[in-house]
Chain A
Amino acid sequence: MTAPQSTVFLQHNRVRLALHTLRAGEGRTLLLLHGLGEASPAREPVELVEWPGPIYALDFTGHGASTVPQGGGYTCELLMADVDIALTRLQGATLMGRGLGAYVALLAAGGRPDRVRGAILRDGPGMAGGGPAFNSPFIAHVDTSQKAPPDPFALVELATDVRPADYASTFARQSGQFSGLSQPIMVCARERPPWLAAVMTELDIETSTLHQAVSWYARSDS
């Protein structure tokens, strides 16, 4: 495995987050967000060759080279705050998220419309979470004998968290109202959990190819 060009560690409360530089340079910044149980890629994905600027990738709390906390307690809102710490460092970026990272990219696009210059949502692990509704209450037994990272608590908690469609819509609406972008979210995904269907309805968007999404946000006037 090739190591990324360089890695910096950013402090988020008691967690150290690993932010990897996959391609250094000037211009529009792209930040990659991995899926549930994954880590940042070691090198820049081939399909991003046309991206004109620097490319970074963040390891979420409990994943990759970031801290694995004691005793779980994951929420997607917490991961949104991970992204916000990286966005401060990068002074804004276009986000590209896979699965869980796609949902977190949506939250960040709504929560920080001034720092997120568009979010590309792609298929990947953890896309649907625990579905749109709270089902029978249960308390999962987490197999802590598993080697971490990824944190076994993250695997359980972020595959079962509830993602109501109207909650996701609220974030889509925030990005629509406050980002100033004509297309704050672009969807390049086949999986269509209720939260994502609601976002597409809210913003009245269809799916795009990755090429379309990358070239759209690469444009200086997008």
Chain B
Amino acid sequence: MTSDDEYTQYPGAQAPDRTRSVDSNGLRLAVYEWGDEDDPPVLLVHGGFDFARTFDVFAPMIAEAGYRVVSWDHRGHGDSQHAQLYSWQADVRDLLCVVNDVSREPVPVIGHSKGGALLVHTIEAMPHRFSRFVAIDGLPFRRPLPDVAERERVLSMHDEVSNWLDHRQRTAALSRKPGTIDNLAQRRLRMNPRLSLDWLRYLVHQGAREDADGWRWKIDPSLRMGGFGPWRSRWLTDRLPGFPIPLLAILGTENEPMGWGVRREDIAPYLPASARVEVMRDTGHFIHIEHPHETASLVLDFLEA
């Protein structure tokens, strides 16, 4: 066994029972399923810069309780096709293509991080298609901008825009940096500082591919974290008080680079009275990875309530 092969397994992780693809207007999306095909479906939506196989421990726990768990890699992520264009609207439309492929009846949905925010939008747009919603640190929220001088604010926005334009100039020739499994896991550790190296090495096997010069994350190199645009999270939060289906929000307590740092007191004023909020102590953004059993138990309790 080579050292690379050591990390093809992780305690509790199970590869999906079925993989296939769904066509979203000419774009191929990789779809994964855990559990019996005839069981009632639950949709699981990953966050930005993640991929469906990050659910390899959590999804089987939901499936085990009698659900057909369906997830997919967002365009440009994991095994889905790299697109020419990316946008919020495109992600929402891809989501609907997968839902349409799974069921025309209302389905329960679980979203982590950006996956939760995409679901808030989709559920508001089509409440008749969804029955229950779990947001795992997945409710859109952003604290007001710090109070800095106007000139400073324009300068910082300008830096952001020109850096992004510089990046776009390079995209035609970009590729992800190659490395060993350990290099990639260490790089991911900077963004996921609370997750174990063994788990991240396992993820490299699922989310990266091995080329002649080393391993590379599969995610489209033209994608970049952060950025700017006209989008405001309050467009979604201001509508949460009238959210149309039962909602469970699971929050952590610890800030980390990929997290949104949403606290109960931030989001509570926006939630309908019927919403359930569960806070996991000493937990970061990847709640279902840090505490898969507790998260699955909360989710199953909510789905079966």
Question: Which residues of A are at the interface with B, using a C-beta cutoff of 8 A?
Answer: 11-15, 61, 67, 69-75, 77-78, 80-81, 84-85, 88, 110-112, 133-134, 136-140, 142, 144, 153, 157, 161-164, 167, 170, 173-174, 177-178
Contact = CB atoms under 8 A, between A and B. Distances in A.
Contact of A177 (B87, B154, B235, B239): B154
Interface in B152-179: 154-155, 157-158, 161-162, 164-165, 168-169, 171-172
Contacts of A177: 151, 154-155, 158
B90 A73 contact: yes
Nearest to B87: A73
A144 B124 CA distance: 25
Contacts of B162: 111-112
Contacts of B24: 71
A84 B124 contact: no
Contact of B168 (A84, A138, A173): A84
Size bin of chain B's contact surface:
35 or more
Given A69-B83, A72-B93, A112-B165, A142 B25 contact: yes
Contact of A139 (B92, B228, B229, B235): B92
Contacts of B125: 136-139
Given A75-B85, A164-B230, A174-B158, 18 more contacts: A12-B171, A13-B84, A70-B27, A71-B75, A74-B87, A78-B85, A81-B165, A84-B169, A111-B161, A111-B162, A137-B124, A137-B239, A142-B93, A162-B231, A170-B154, A177-B151, A177-B155, A178-B158
B49 to A, nearest CB: 17
Nearest to B96: A139
A10 to B, nearest CB: 9
Contacts, number: 124
Could you say which of B81, B87, B126, B165 has the most chain A C-beta atoms within 10 Å of its C-beta? B165
B232 interface: yes
26 contacts: A13-B84, A70-B81, A71-B27, A71-B83, A71-B85, A72-B25, A72-B89, A72-B93, A73-B75, A73-B89, A73-B90, A74-B85, A75-B85, A75-B229, A77-B228, A81-B164, A88-B169, A111-B158, A134-B232, A139-B89, A140-B89, A144-B26, A170-B154, A174-B154, A177-B155, A178-B158
Interface string B251-287: 0000000000000000000000000000000000000
A170 B169 contact: no
Nearest to A134: B235
Given A110-B158, A139-B126, A167-B230, A13 B25 contact: no
A210 B206 CA distance: 57
A123 B71 CA distance: 45
B93 A163 contact: no
A84 to B, nearest CB: 5
Nearest to A153: B25
A85 B89 contact: no
Contacts of A70: 25-27, 81, 83-84
Interface string B71-101: 0000100000111111101101110100000
For the complex of A and B, the 9 pairs showing the least CB-CB separation, nearest first, are: A73-B85, A69-B84, A73-B90, A70-B26, A71-B27, A81-B168, A134-B235, A13-B171, A137-B125
B122 interface: yes
A11 B169 contact: no
Contact of B85 (A61, A110, A136): A61
B84 A73 contact: yes
A138 B125 CA distance: 5
A81 to B, nearest CB: 4
B121 interface: yes
A71 B25 contact: yes
B222 interface: yes
A67 B85 CA distance: 11
Nearest to A178: B158
Contacts of A111: 158, 161-162, 165
Nearest to B122: A139
